[in-house]
Chains A and B, each alone.
Chain A
Amino acid sequence: MPDRITRPQEPTPERKHADEDGPSKPNLDRPAPANPLRERLKRIDPDQAKKYRQRSGQ
């Protein structure tokens, strides 16, 4: 089934100036997960999303 995706160009979000206070992007520098999670993630079929197709619902 072909993709329904359309990709018109839109402006990127306008952000506050760098010198303004405000929340920042979440810190993703937490240490990499311990082995059990890493092993668990390796069991996921990397092609699953490519194969996943649905009817539109509401």
Chain B
Amino acid sequence: MTSEPRILCGIETEYGIAIEGRGPEDQIQDVAGLVCNEPGLAFSGWDDRDEHPRRDLRGFSVDRLSVDPRDQAFETRPNRPSDRDLRQDRITERGARFYNDHGHPEYATPECWTAHAVAWEDLLGEKRVALAARAFSEKTGQATETYKNNTDFHGASYGTHESYLVPRTLAAQDLVQGLLPLLVTRPMLCGAGKVGSENGDPCPFQLSQRADFFMEPVNVETLYRRPLFNTRDEPHAPADRFIRLHVIAGDANRIFSATRRKVFLVQLAIRLLLQGQCPVFKLKDPVQAAKVVSRDLSCDARLPLEGASWTTAPQVLESYLAAAEATLTLTPAESLLLTECRGLLDAFSADPDHFAVHVDWAAKLRLTEWVREDEGYAPGSPELQSIDLAYAEISTETTLFSDLIAMEHVEAPPALTESALPQEPTRAWARALAVQRFREHLTQANWRGFTLAGRTIELLPDRDYAALAGAHNVEDFINLLEQINA
């Protein structure tokens, strides 16, 4: 076991949705119905008092967050239900959050310590959203498809965010400096790929779904004027001890190991920062560099650094891996993940077949190139974007992606087993058990705690809640919680 602090993490994915006969103007109300009707076990009683999206890590709050003017128009419909009614917040029996976020079904995984566990929970979330879509379709009679992607190809984006709880001893500026080079270059190994472009220089294909949408290097926005590094200060944990690093620059991955890899790389960078060993790359223009990386299918574009020097995406990524290998105490599983990342950097040029099996953008590029050759479509055409969209579709029993797995064009995920609790006994374990066994005693809950049998209980992000598994009545459960928290 490592003696370094464990980095609690989670992934929240906003899914795209297409409902027969409906459009984006109906999306918020439709998705409220989808979430409300979902068949899974859940507790409805989300406590949103701990949410502060306008607080900035840099020590101030903004008066309001920017909204895309086109979406703002949807908010003025008459007789619009309250935001709370529209969100339809649920806490699932795994301690996850499932709700309607701005018209997208969003699944936020239970918190985990390892990249493997959070990728697993993300995959389970995908299954839950698919079941919800099927249930909604059966109830309404309207064909309903859901997509694990981040763009509609027409200028609207929706996010897949990662959260990492880090000690507040790390200064915001150090986090920015340590993370930005990784966030800019990570799409080489973790990008979901996109046919076409929505802003900037037109291109037929790019590595990242999201790069087109970043307008500033650093700010607190998420809906519009999105930054590469988001400074929202909303820790969902004791604010004097923790920052929740809110990474909005990543893509929604279909390949399991790509999800795991994107989390692993950020966890490595945070640990390197905590050790004072993080590589230093001062990119001259991070936003432009992100667009360059995304459009560079050869992954050898020069990324200008401050001064007269430059680097490339593989050089940046290898620097993080080398620093981690040299200075961190890695578990055997982490060493394997590091080897996997380095192997993919090598395979990019030496074994592209291997690379394309494990990296979404390369798998998607190969697929769309085959279709383009077969059908004669123009590069970047809407017909190829339909292949891109089909790659992201999750809601039907058999999807293009499941067929790609069956035909071994992409890797198979680990088999899903019927484990009732999250893989790791983080604070999510306590939340999950409260929903599974004692939800009739729950009155409200959120990431940070819950009120159970009239007692308000905080869940601490650095505690191990495994001992709760033996509690089968509410008093024992509360007593054990208090012992663990003491």
Contacts and interface: CB of A to CB of B under 8 A. Distances in A.
B214 to A, nearest CB: 13
Interface residues of A, number: 46
Contacts of A5: 154-155, 198-199
B153 A14 contact: no
Contacts, number: 190
B16 interface: yes
Nearest to A8: B200
B476 interface: no
Nearest to A52: B152
A52 B153 contact: yes
B329 interface: no
B267 interface: no
B223 A58 contact: yes
Interface string A30-58: 10111011101100111111111111111
A28 B224 contact: no
A26 B366 contact: yes
B365 A23 contact: no
B254 interface: no
A29 B143 CA distance: 38
Contacts of B388: 49
A55 B386 contact: no
A51 B382 CA distance: 10
Contacts of B371: 41
Interface in B253-304: 288, 291-292, 295-302
Contacts of B50: none
Given A6-B199, A57-B101, A24 B18 contact: no
A48 B381 CA distance: 12
A27 B352 contact: yes
Interface residues of B, number: 79
A26 B355 contact: yes
B301 A58 contact: no
- Best-surrounded residue of A6, A10, A14, A58 (most CB of chain B within 10 A): A58
A21 to B, nearest CB: 9
A27 B288 CA distance: 26
A36 B409 CA distance: 12
Contacts of A8: 199-200
Interface stretch (B67-75, B120-128, B172-180, B450-458): B67-75
A45 B300 contact: no
Contacts of A15: 296, 298, 300-302
Given A5-B198, A7-B202, A56 B366 contact: no
B101 A58 contact: yes
Contacts of A7: 197, 199-202
A33 B409 contact: yes
Contacts of B299: 23
A6 to B, nearest CB: 6
A16 to B, nearest CB: 5
Q: A27, A32, A41, A54: which has the most chain B beta carbons within 10 Å?
A: A54
Contacts of B387: 41, 44
A24 B297 CA distance: 8
Of B68, B154, B288, most A-chain CB atoms within 10 Å: B154
B365 A14 contact: no
B374 A55 contact: no
Interface in B48-85: 67-68, 70-71, 74
Contacts of B248: 58
A53 B154 contact: yes
A19 interface: no
8 contacts: A4-B70, A25-B297, A36-B407, A37-B404, A37-B407, A38-B374, A44-B390, A49-B153
Interface of A: 1, 3-16, 22-28, 30, 32-34, 36-38, 40-41, 44-58
A-B pairs with lowest CB-CB distance, top 9: A4-B155, A57-B158, A49-B385, A23-B349, A13-B301, A54-B152, A58-B222, A46-B383, A10-B201
Given A1-B24, A37-B403, A41-B371, 7 more contacts: A5-B199, A30-B353, A52-B153, A54-B27, A56-B67, A57-B104, A57-B159
Interface of B: 14, 16-18, 23-24, 27-28, 67-68, 70-71, 74, 101-104, 106, 152-159, 161, 197-202, 222-224, 248, 288, 291-292, 295-302, 312, 314, 348-349, 352-353, 355-356, 362, 365-367, 369-371, 373-374, 377, 382-383, 385-390, 400, 403-404, 407, 409
